[in-house]
Amino acid sequence: MLSPLLQNLFLGSLIVSLTACGGGGGGGDSGDNSGVGSPAALAGQFVDGPVSGIRYKTATQSGITGSNGQFEYLEGETVSLYIGAQLLGHAPGTETITLFDLVDGVEPLVGLELETTLTNLTGSRWEDGQFRPSFNTVINLARLLQTLDTDGDPGNGIEIAAGVAALFTADSVDFHQHWDDFTNELGFRKVLGDAKSQGLLDNARQVRKPWRAMTHLYASLGIDSKLRALRVISSVSPGGGVYDYVSTFEFDDEGKRTRWESDGDGDGIANEISSYTYDTNGNQTGYGYDYNADGTPESYRVFTYDSEGNLTRMELHNDEDDMPEVLETYTYGTYGNETRYEKYEKFRGLTAFGFTDYDASGRPVTIENTAGRFTWTYTRDGSEIFRDVLPGEFRRSSLSTWTYDANDNLLRKEYDYDRDGTLDVILLYTNDADGKRILYEEDDGANGSIERTQSTAYDAEGRLLREEWDYDNDGKPDRTQTYTYDARGSQTRYEDDTDGDGTPENVRAANFEYDSDGNVIRLEADGDGDGVFDSVTIYTYDARGNRVRQEIDFGGDGSTDTMTVYTYDANDILIRQVIDSDLDGTPDNIQSYEYDADINGWWQALGGLH
């Protein structure tokens, strides 16, 4: 939940009740609320900056958010927000609803906690085969709303035109995938393409960069992310006083890196210089590499994009003539699917190519490249999907059929290697109710006889407990691996019985101790499973939960052998790391990090250069 300050961010512009008017979209579903005893509708506001044109619905109220993002609800009701038929999310009715309120369990983090969360974001699926709501969801919601803003300037508020909202179906977009994959989300790209072709948005509109979207979102909520652009990294050699190297970075006003100077010997003179340029949409258009820092790049790349922001051309130049050493070209379909790729080398001509056709759902139906020609056909009959793969002239022709359940979990693979109508291999997959694979079986002759199996077991939390391989399917495991965890989910033991005799050949064990905040304060490790800890690591934290000291006893004899001390700034960002590897009191290495207090670090945190 947001702080009281944010909950009341727009209190001055909100009245306890509103009368439905214009596009402001009040109007209850429960009839006339003016009678004696009828509760008065309360006013709320949906913000990423104020967002208008969003459909809202409660148990008694419905409408379209007005020019100031206003909606109506009754005390205790849940508000559901939609763009067209596409659900954005639900939130308890309150004076202010933000994108964070729409994603259960996600809050607006700052500083080190935010940086760590962004670094660890994945696009992993959860039990039912769908992506889990996460900080990714907030990023993707912000990107979509800001991209589709009528005038393309979310700084003056976001307006979603009725015609744009009407392009969404109930399941147009999956917001829970990784933010980087969301750039090419087919449903999103389709809506954007259709809106442009219908004149609802300008033709130059591109999917908004994630770092721009989050910079705006945090600014609209009055939150300082405490992310800052890293300006200098330096390392001091043993004994201190002499720099091993210094890397210095320069940025534009948005925090995009424009220059990187590397001083490899710490003499104050750059040995290498890299430079970067961008277009107005934030796409990288150039990269120059001056490997001797004489002011002239010996190598440079030029990137070209279409109006959708898709990369269409990359040129690599290593000499002074106008002909690139390498040229790569890309062509795309209506909604951003890559349909053609070609690579040319200066003295060899065409060296690689790829052509792809897609069906209406964005799935590949034909791929042709240097490896051959592959075709896919998809049908859905109840809970099954079949895929047909046909390599072309460069490889032996074969046919495979893959079968899935309703959650797209793989169930079966069938292979007919010579396309004679007789199957050669069948692979079977069994999944538990959560979609986790628990059994794999191989029928090499496709004759109904299983030759090999692999079974897997999980605990109630979904953690891997045991894997068994039976290479001859005689019912006796030929290899077994087991895993044990403590109450907090940390793995405490691993055993690998490589020959199936019941005695593990490889054993690793660990014991964790935690403080009251859940931080690991002691780690004891037994690398050979003999019951004697080979190393002990002690961790110390400050009052804000930052790790400030790490002490390692490599022999497990109770004597510290090496120590690392960490220092943070007021935003909990690491600024100094001191390593004393022999514990003689003299640092053997000092790493320092300097940040630009005036440049936000969203660009670095969300992708930066690819």
Binned at pLDDT 50, 70 and 90, residue 126 comes out as very low
pLDDT at 34: 45
Q: Are 130 and 136 in contact (CB under 8 A)?
A: no
pLDDT(35) > 60:
no
Burial class (CB in 10 A: 0-12, 13-18, 19+), 304: middle
Average pLDDT value for the chain? 87
User: Tokens representing 351?
Assistant: 């060296």
Q: What is the pLDDT of residue 381?
A: 59
Triad 539, 606, 217: Cα angle to 5°? 105
pLDDT at site 391:
52
Average pLDDT over residues 436-462: 95
The pLDDT assigned to 23 comes to 40
Domain assignment of residue 55, yes or no: yes
pTM assigned to the model: 0.79
128 in any annotated domain: yes
Q: Is 192 a domain residue?
A: yes
pLDDT at residue 12 is higher than 60: no
pLDDT at 400: 83
Residue ranges of the alpha helices (H) in 89-185? 111-120, 135-147, 162-165, 179-182
Top pLDDT among 145 and 364 is at 145
Position with higher pLDDT, 4 vs 443: 443
Query: Would the CA dihedral through 172, 175, 178, 179 be positive or negative?
Result: positive
Q: Please check whether residue 308 lies inside any domain of the structure.
A: no
**124: containing domain:** 4-220
CA atoms within 13 A of residue 468's CA, in its CB half-sphere = 17
Q: pLDDT tens across 273-332, in order?
A: 999 999 999 999 999 999 999 999 999 999 999 999 999 999 999 987 889 999 999 999
How much is the pLDDT for 363? Answer: 80
Residue 137 lies in a domain: yes
Confirm whether 229 is domain-assigned. no
Q: Which range is least confidently modeled, 17-26, 50-59, 85-94, 496-505?
A: 17-26
Q: How many domains does the chain have?
A: 1
Q: Is residue 424 part of a domain?
A: no
User: How far is Cα 188 from Cα 146, in angstroms, rounded to an integer?
Assistant: 12
Closest to 121 in 3D by CA, of 102, 104, 134: 134
From 41, 362, 440, 338, select the one nearest 187 (Cα to Cα): 362
Whether the pLDDT of residue 447 is over 60: the answer is: yes
498 within domain boundaries? no
Convert 31-48 into a string of H (helix), E (strand) and C (coil).
Answer: CCCCCCCCCCCEEEEEEC
Cα–Cα nearest to 262, from 304, 239, 292 = 292
